Amino acid sequence: MSLTVNLRHLETSDIRLKGELSLAELDLDVRDELIHVAKPVEYDLEVEKLDDAVLVQGGLQILLECECVRCLKKFRRRLNLENWTLHLPLEGEDAVVVDNDCVDLTPFAREDILLEFPQHPLCKPDCRGLEKISAGKTKTAGESNVVSPAWVELNKLKL
């Protein structure tokens, strides 16, 4: 079941919504290979009806399984949208779609969650990346410059 609010229930008092929204219901189209959603979205929302709009305030949380772009280490990151606020007009040009007196909040939650995804996930801010391996390089005891064996053979050529 998607995250919906019945407008008739809002006529008498505000509504508090608390629960989980499954990944199938949220329908996140994550195209980033480094980010995967680990668990359903947890929500704790307060919904109230204004004169000509619906105001939603509260929090959304989701757990991500990421892969660091520098060192490729897997790590988990909790995404918290603590002060999530949504103003949905019921009248006018930008009016939200009302179906059987219900407003679906799922597409708005989906959009804001996707906007909070890390663009370049890092396991820690000061990640130094993969260790550098000096494959194919030779170094003698007294020599400070590292020279590839291919260059040594090319330097022997007398052109």
Tens-place pLDDT, residues 100-132: 899 999 999 999 999 999 888 999 989 888 877
Please determine, for residue 76, whether its predicted confidence score (pLDDT) is greater than 90.
yes
| 5 sits in which H/E element | strand 4-6
Cβ pair 34, 134 in contact under 8 A = no
**pLDDT value of residue 49:** 92
Are the C-beta atoms of 57 and 87 separated by less than 8 Å? no
pLDDT of 1 reads 57
Answer yes or no: are the C-beta atoms of 7 and 98 closer than 8 Å: yes
pTM over 0.95: no
Tell which residue, 19, 20, 67, 17, has the closest CA to residue 39: 20
Give residue 28's pLDDT.
Answer: 79
Q: What is the pLDDT of residues 20-67, one digit of tens each?
A: 998 888 887 777 888 888 899 999 999 999 888 999 999 999 999 999
Residue with tokens 């000509």: 52
- In the structure encoding, which two tokens stand for residue 139, read together? 């170094």
Looking at residue 150, its pLDDT comes to: 76
Name the more confident of 156 and 16.
Answer: 16
Closest of 55, 11, 12, 19 to residue 40, by C-alpha: 19
